[in-house]
Homo-oligomer: A and B are copies of this chain.
Amino acid sequence: MGQQGQHLGRAAGGTVTPTSSAALRRANLSLVLRHLRDHVSRSRADIAEATGLHRATVSNLVAELLDRQLVREVGVEHVGAVGRPRRPVALHGAHVGALGLEINVDYISVHGSDLSGRILVERRIGFDTMGSGPDRSLHRLGTVAREAIETMRSAGADPAGIGVAVPALVDVARGVVTFAPNLNWHNLPLAARLSATLGSPNVPVMVDNDANLAAVAEYTSGVAAGTPHLVYLTGEVGVGGGIIVDGRLLRGADGFSGEVGHLPVDPAGARCGCGRRGCWETKVGLAALVRTAMPQQAYTPAGLPVSDPEERAKEISRGLVEGDRHMMYAVAQVGRWLGLGGSIVVNLFNTRVIVVGGYFATLAEWLLPHAQEELERLVVAGAAAQCRFTASNLGFGAASRGAASMVVNQLIDDPTTIMDSIPRPPVH
């Protein structure tokens, strides 16, 4: 009697969702595309069987999608002796682009794909976002986006949506960065500003938290892809979390879920940059590791984050390879705190896999054994709730990749937008 993700009844009198025939067409087109997104290729009969739609309805929908080149036929597949040959179709949309961007403390990254996920552009550009302030940062982001759009267009794909990842609390519905502590941005209407800079008001821009979008990338194409209960932790100066529950990104009531960095874990702990005491970030953020592992590097001028974080992580990695005992001690200590934070996640979410990125991934072989041991000690369900830490292999491109995936998901959720607004592609 499994009830995973069961929708609960509630008191009578809830809101009604009116469904017009346009909405029904949209829902059915989306149903077919979602099914094809999750499979290599499928026959019309397979689609009808899996979706519960009538065969004739599926044929009409597929014809429309073929006409718009959002799907394509992929050869002939014979079934049985009496069956007619079934021509499978696959997701296509080579002319429909999805652009993902990430703007973080010291870089901008870009990931552009077409509707089927084929990668068209992937870049990472060093940029001092924090030092540049929001105006110059947005200008730079706009330039990078324009270049990526040109590259995608020259590959035949016109971006139909743009996603931007930011290390921030984001008002997703309005596309506003509410607060980005490490960028020092407050209430920045990023979606509107970027749209204006690009001069393309018809291409929707969505903004989301970097850890949320990296979690989407991990779920879509990372080392633990397809794991329905998965959490992603960023390992930078700040630590953020993206949470996948039942194969869905958890947003919560306002889009502010997964704020792991400031979980209170030590009432007697050090003062955090946020003003509170004993936040988890003060135990596992890169600054905490640097402070213990290489104290001579830790004291940057007040208010500034660790300088050149990647270089610091690499230095520590070199020290560990050389057997530096001071550094060994430091990673053991940080690893245990990582495990403690992981146990909070597992006790609450019963997560199967915690994928770690950033410096956690760089130092995974030293950090994760300690983290795993502490996790197992602190999880109440013990061995019954198996959860493992694992290092991401998506590197610094995870969030921009996730942003592009999110755009693809939105286009597939409402394909009529691309079917009605993008010029029909030339037939070759």
Interface residues of chain A, those whose CB is within 8 Å of chain B, are 1-14, 16-19, 24, 27, 34, 37-40, 46, 49-52, 169, 171-173, 175, 178-179, 204, 206, 216, 219-221, 225-226, 228-229, 241, 243-268, 274, 276, 340, 343-345, 347-352, 377-378, 380-381, 384-387, 405-406, 408-410, 412-413
Contact = CB atoms under 8 A, between A and B. Distances in A.
17 contacts: A1-B172, A3-B251, A3-B410, A9-B38, A9-B220, A10-B38, A10-B226, A11-B226, A14-B39, A169-B384, A178-B384, A245-B245, A245-B252, A254-B350, A257-B350, A263-B344, A348-B348
Contact of A34 (B7, B409, B413): B7
A13 B40 contact: yes
B10 A350 contact: no
B405 A8 contact: yes
Nearest to A206: B1
A54 to B, nearest CB: 10
Copy number of this protein in the oligomer?
2
Contact of A225 (B11, B219, B252): B11
Given A178-B384, A257-B348, A381-B259, A39 B24 contact: no
B229 A252 contact: yes
Nearest to A49: B19
A169 B412 contact: no
B11 A253 contact: no
Contact of A169 (B251, B267, B381): B381
Taking each of A9, A10, A46, which has the highest tally of chain B beta carbons within 10 Å of its own beta carbon?
Answer: A9
Nearest to A230: B253
B256 A350 contact: yes
Contacts of A169: 380-381, 384
